[in-house]
Amino acid sequence: MNRLSTAVAVSAGILAFTACTDATGVDRSSGSGVDLAPSLAQNVTPDAANDPHVHFMPLKSNAAEAQSQAGKNRPGSGTGISYHGGPVLQAGTKVVAIYWASAPIYIGGPAVGSVGAGTSDGSLVGHFLRSLGGSAYFNINSSYTDGSGRAIANSVTYSGFWANGANAPSGSQNVSDAAMIAMLQSGFTSGTLTYDPSTLYLIFTAGLVNLGGGFGTQYCGYHTHATVTVPNQGSKVALYAAMPYDYAYPGSCTNGSPSPNNDPGADGEVSVLAHEIEETTTDMMGNAWFDTRGYENADKCAWTWGTYNGTWNVTLGGKNFLVQQNWKNVSGGGCAMQL
């Protein structure tokens, strides 16, 4: 993700932000816009609240720079992306879906107030999360390693969901990161959420709800991390992703092509979802894998599809999806749908 920094103070407990864009950033405590200067500073540490590094998943119209620069950052015989010493989810990535809304967000999704295993999520998003790990597509991430040279496992486990209707945002309400973190904290405090350092907590919202303050105008989603307090464990770093309803802005946050599963809301979400999961896997704290311009693996291929029939380009778990390519860290690098 293109790294942008700002000295705007944010609420206590917010850590470095990770997502992707060239667009203007936002002050995440208030939702108001501020200009962010490009920065390649990579010292992303817990509680760096006064100097957050903000990264966004770009709008479709803003992806051209990452695409045009992707193949230019290959010093020597490199692959166009390099390791900077930070942690990765080497042993496998886990995900928990938090559907934060007063009604099911996706067709077949969990009833409001319910908590369950990922296998019980009847939505297309749930199917995608159960099918992503072990696929030839996600195996691209195994071309990346940790600091000991161990390849990242081709594994995504959908551990469970929480359909949280408490204080659910609605309409075009702006939701700050402080509010998202408070919601996560409530889940850990009550025991509804189980803490795991290798879990990415995916926060989904409905309609025009504006997670972070710039949804649809500056970005389509992002991943980041925050400090939470876990009962009997103390302060912990929780990985999370803001996953607004991308089909609310079909021209900016979806490809605009026909829905392969006749479920435009879910079909419009999965490419951004894959983007955030694979970037968290290879750059969970913002200081592991990225290129000389600060782009993470999926940034370099955002809004590119490879060869496809205009509707879908990959089959996962027996269903067809349209998912962006990812950057392979072998053979000189490049965007691909598999190694």
What are the average pLDDT values for consecutive 10-residue runs of the chain, which has 339 residues? 35 38 31 26 29 68 75 67 97 98 98 98 98 98 98 98 98 96 98 98 98 96 96 97 98 97 98 98 95 93 95 98 98 97
φ and ψ of 141, to 5 deg: -70, -15
Q: How far is residue 157's CA from residue 43's CA, in Å, rounded to a whole number?
A: 29
Residues 6+ apart with CB under 8 A from 189: 229, 231
* Exposed e or buried b per residue across 14-32, where buried means at least 16 C-beta atoms within 10 angstroms of its C-beta: bbbbbbbbbbebbbbbebe
Q: What is the pLDDT of residue 147?
A: 97
How many C-alpha atoms does 297 have within 13 Å on its Cβ side? Answer: 34
pLDDT tens-digit map of 68-102: 766 655 555 599 999 999 999 999 999 999 999 99
Q: What is the pLDDT of residue 62?
A: 86
Q: What is the pLDDT of residue 153?
A: 98
Residues 6+ apart with CB under 8 A from 306: 313, 325, 335, 336, 337
Q: What is the pLDDT of residue 90?
A: 98
Q: Six-digit token pair at 35?
A: 């200009």
What are the domain boundaries of the chain?
4-336
* Exposed e or buried b per residue across 160-181, where buried means at least 16 C-beta atoms within 10 angstroms of its C-beta: bbbbbeeebbeeeebbbbbbbb
Q: What is the pLDDT of residue 231?
A: 97
Q: What is the pLDDT of residue 56?
A: 82
